[in-house]
Homo-oligomer: A and B are copies of this chain.
Amino acid sequence: MDFSISPELESTLDIVETFVAEELHPLEDHVVHGHWDVIQSELDKRRDRVKELGLWTPHLDEQWGGMGLSLVEFGHVAEALGRSPLGHYAFNCQAPDAGNMEILTEYGTDWQKERFLEPLLDGDTRSCFAMTEPDNAGSNPTMLDTTARRDGDEFVINGRKWFTSGADGADFAIVMAVTDPDAEDRYSRASQIIVPADADGFELERNISVMGESGSGYLSHGEVTFDDCRVPAENLLGPAEGGFAIAQERLGPGRIHHCMRWIGICERAFDLMCRRANQREVYPGSPLGDRQMVQEKIADSRADIDAARLMTLQAAWQIDRKGTRAARVDISKIKYFVAGVLQDVLDRAIQIHGALGVTDDTPLAFWYRHERGARIYDGPDEVHKRVVAKKSLKERASD
């Protein structure tokens, strides 16, 4: 058992951390106030710099211009990027594009790669992933009303999706739609289909107002409709009725990405809470950090974050070794564990900041709002807990 990381990775992480602190932190103020567009041009310059540093799309294999990291290694990078709300975007490994890139490299046809993947890899476009439906519980992903009927050389898509993050301004959507409603196996009814944003019948109805912000562009969550929306049959992504199989594979590493990003957020929040505790004086010469109610929050956070990191890295290591399917339970386990730690750490950091903590003068309030969803998106806690419990019970069924 060896908890060390290689000197190469250490050196990469140094570069990433410095970049995030020096180049991205100064831009954050606009993000937490919801002004993404104001900094787009500044961000584009940063992205060029990331390309020059050879750190672009770090999650991908070298053949796709990536860094060829193992998932454990990328996990560390993702943590470093997570320390800023801008980190993943600046390095072109932001959700949902990162996952879409992975699906396209794995399942895309040559034409799909040229038309949809390449501009994504270059950072020239963005994309979205349309799976969740407002009228169906996300906790049961097989309940889908959106259909794609084959009509000659085309699919005719009808349905409504929401939390299609980044739909606003996206070049295309990957849509999960039922193509074989009568299949006995309910996991074999849906396919993934690429829908260009300009397809007739595809509409962004609204950017959903989430925690007070509708947002725009990359920082938005769309509600979209498909109204007899027609796309060519060649837009089918991967095998027909293979939608869930692909999604599952995509979500495995994607959950590692999220968890490590959350840990990056936690570390930033931890830094902020300690600094505040050092600097804020209750009376002259007596900082908050001398108080045990503050110390307890710091100590609990320190232990929780370190536990979350080890758990996530171990799950990544399992995926590296055995693949996503074999690591399914590990992935479920970190999903609720790390999301819970994230919420607790942010809450403690805000409390230690007092009134300042609820303002947008720090990024804490931004994360507090935007990451309340962490315990819900990609499967709510309740679903993942069931997965873990049922596995544990089953392993002992014959005892």
Contact = CB atoms under 8 A, between A and B. Distances in A.
A303 B354 contact: no
A18 interface: no
A396 B307 contact: no
Contacts of A162: 355
Contact of A299 (B212, B311, B388): B388
User: At the interface, is chain A mostly helix, strand, loop or mixed?
Assistant: helix
A372 B333 CA distance: 27
A23 B336 CA distance: 38
Contacts of A299: 333, 336, 384-386, 388-389, 392
A139 B209 CA distance: 34
A396 B298 CA distance: 13
What is the size category of the interface that chain A forms with chain B?
35 or more
Given A137-B282, A317-B3, A376-B355, A210 B360 contact: yes
A122 interface: no
Contacts of A292: 291-296, 382, 386
A130 to B, nearest CB: 13
A333 B303 contact: yes
10 contacts: A1-B2, A134-B356, A209-B361, A210-B358, A211-B360, A278-B397, A293-B295, A303-B336, A310-B310, A355-B373
Interface of A: 1-5, 32-34, 72, 132, 134, 137-140, 143, 162-163, 208-213, 270-271, 274-275, 277-278, 280-283, 288-289, 291-296, 298-300, 302-303, 306-308, 310-311, 313-314, 317, 333-334, 336-337, 350-351, 354-361, 365-366, 368-369, 372-373, 375-377, 380-382, 384-386, 388-390, 392-393, 395-397, 399
